[in-house]
Amino acid sequence: MRIAVCQINSRDDQTANLSTARGLLSEAAAGGADLAVLPEYVDYLGTAERLPPPEPVDGTVGSFFADAARELGIWVVVGSFHERGPDPAHTYNTCLVFDRRGELAASYRKIHLYDVEIPGRVSYRESSNVAPGTDPVVVDCDGVRLGLSICYDLRFPELYRRLAVDGDAQVLVVPAAFMVHTGRDHWEVLLRARAIENQCYVLAAGQIGQHEPARTCFGRSMVVDPWGTVLAQAPDTTGVVLADLDLHRLATIRAELPSLANRRL
């Protein structure tokens, strides 16, 4: 299976964001990708005041990417978008997966929300306007099992163990908008750790560059193999990185180093 991770600088113009994302998906398809992964909040990253009204899964954003998947004949992981939430004050941070026909194959609502309070330095509470999801999700993609996650989920290894063990995931998908100050030290380390400990490929598609209000995303979208080797990494710009997944290699690694089979807890 050939995959593409797409790196984008989403801003506070949803129409422009979707247009850029569509161009990256076309580039991925032209490169022979069977599956393309977009970053977290590909639809909008900006101030709350300019955020378009959140939509259901089959709204404008969902329909846009369903059409793209069908027209290009590829699987599309919409890293996440602002889904209409359980009440007017909260949205869901939701990942969508569309198959080659443009049919919705799976949706996943981000479980772990980024709440941090460091007096005098950082005050950010994602839970103030986002409601958490509750259920891990694995989806079959042309016979390959994809485990879904979003950004801050990456710091919670128990989620990925459930995806790999209970869901039989072979590939872990991590769309993100990782901040620069944490990304430069933790992004690659955590991605490689999740790949090694679960003996899965990891597909990490990140936001890049400046976003309002006053945030900078790290980028460095990458593909990691089940041994923890980085197969491909994006430069610090908008673009697409392609890689081929070797499921025979995955099976060999799991057979020769059977850590999943040997677990006792």
pLDDT of residue 122: 67
Please state the domain count of the chain. Answer: 1
Marked catalytic residue, from 40, 83, 95, 141:
40
pLDDT of residue 214: 80
Marked catalytic residue, from 6, 83, 110, 200:
110
Domain that holds residue 114: 2-262
pLDDT of residue 59: 98
Marked catalytic residue, from 6, 95, 151, 200:
151
126 belongs to the catalytic site? no
Cβ atoms of 73 and 26 closer than 8 Å:
no
How confident is the chain (265 residues) per 10-residue block, as mean pLDDT? 98 97 98 98 93 96 98 98 96 98 98 86 86 98 98 98 98 96 96 98 97 89 98 98 97 97 93
95 belongs to the catalytic site? no
pLDDT of residue 123: 72
CATH number at residue 243: 3.60.110.10
6 belongs to the catalytic site? no
pLDDT of residue 129: 95
